[in-house]
Amino acid sequence: MTAAVRVAVLGASGYAGGELVRLLVRHPRVELVAVAGSSRAGEPMAAVFPHLRGIVDLDLADAASPALWDELEPDLVFLALPHGQAAELLGRVFPAAADRGVRVIDLSGDLRLPADLYEPWYGRPAADPALQAQAVYGLSELFAPRIRDARLVANPGCYATAVLLALAPLAAAGGLAGGQVVIDAKSGVSGAGRGASAATAFAEVNENFYPYKVGRHQHTPEVENVLAQLAGRPVTVLLTTHLLPVTRGILATCYVRPPEGWWPSPPAGDRPAAAVMAADAATADAVVPEAAASPARARRPATAGSPGGGGERQPQAPTGGSRGAAGVASRRSTAAVATDPKQRQPTPGPGPEPVPGAGAVPRPRPAAPATAADLAAALHDLYRGFYGGRPFVRVLPPGQVPAIKNVQGSNFCDLGVHYDPRSGWITVFAAIDNLVKGAAGQAVQNLNLMAGWDETTGLDLVPLFP
């Protein structure tokens, strides 16, 4: 039996960080050596999150302490810090830590976008270009080969995770070329982070429901960036986010008008559609096709970030209230789970890897004019083939739609696909738990990839119901 991988969680006093701790303490191949959170430094973890009493016997350290990176000798550090703080800390400590073999998974938005998109959408200076150059976008279902070889992973945003999983099959198959993509996404209050505010108070949220950050949510360019890579062309989306009066969950409803005459055949013949990216997918993950980064979009106002680590900035209430690596090897193990990262430089890959068990044969276009039933069946085949073999994406049978209750507490993403022959639009529904698949669970899934383990290790979470 190999030694456990030593991990630390910085930002453990926030919702995403606390969820990371909950998942990591039950992971069979992980040793949690430190938790940190500057706002609650010195307090027992069980005082910050009473549900962890008797489970986590650690006190919160100061997230800025150098000892977290050297004296404790972690193999991997999770950052669940607010936007801006993560990049500042990494700029100071990551070069030396990487030389010692430490890998990082960052749950903030600081490394998800190139500087020309990050600054206008997040409203602050971008991270050091040297950091951005090393960061790999961590959506496991699409970028597994790159994640395995990464030293620094940018965990996706919660809305971006749901939307990208919903739209990736259509993007790869040319279904977004019609240029009309509308996304209506709704999140529970935990996505705003743990900081107190009027807009997340019970009296403000209960029996209430409203949109926020209309036209300026910072996950918009993140979605467009990845869809452009999949489609091989610029993609523009209209994303509107809403606050639900629930604790957990995201439901994203994505409307797509496909090009005239389009048929949902997965490209690349005998390869699963999840293995297909744009021809230039070997370029840096954060690069956006030139036409996609329009000056008009770059000028949009934006503010982002929240206390609580990796959460949304709190939306504005209608009444004006405000709210927000190479394989990971333990240096104590004689049977390391992967080679030293200094010897395994991140290698640009061809994009998502072939997935064992994925559907290989696309449904052929009927010789006679296709019926609505033909197209609906082909759409379902496209999604089943795209995500075949992916353990955390559940494509629902035709006619069924997902619900956030059915994924709560789990790392699943449930997808439903519907074609409306009257309007000619396709509707794709995605449901995730924003704190698990949308944050901490995705981060642990990336840890598993970086370590060379099965993706499901430590993530065999049955959804909580009712």
Which residues are identified as catalytic? 158
Q: CB 53: neighbour CB atoms within 10 A?
A: 12
Long-range pairs for 416-420 at CB < 8 Å and ≥24 separation? Answer: 417/376, 417/379, 417/380, 417/383, 418/376, 419/372, 419/375, 419/376, 419/379
Q: How far apart are CA 7 and CA 422, in angstroms?
A: 53
44 — phi, psi (to 5°)? Answer: -65, 145
Q: How far apart are CA 361 and CA 267, in angstroms?
A: 10
**CA distances to 46, 106, 413, 447 from 442, in Å:** 24, 11, 11, 9
Strands 152-154 and 135-137: parallel
Q: From the centroid of its chain, how far is CA 237?
A: 18
Report yes or no: 18 and 37 within 8 Å, Cβ to Cβ. no
Report yes or no: 171 and 227 within 8 Å, Cβ to Cβ. yes
Which residues have a Cβ under 8 Å from the Cβ of 188 and sit 6 or more positions away?
244, 246, 247, 248, 249, 250, 404, 434
Report yes or no: 388 and 362 within 8 Å, Cβ to Cβ. no
**Separation of first and last alpha carbons in the chain:** 38
HSE-CB for 253 with a 13 A CA cutoff:
8
Q: How far apart are CA 118 and CA 50, in angstroms?
A: 36
Which residues have a Cβ under 8 Å from the Cβ of 44 and sit 6 or more positions away?
57, 58, 59, 60
Strands 210-212 and 393-395: unpaired
Q: How far apart are CA 112 and CA 426, in angstroms?
A: 28
Residues in the chain: 466
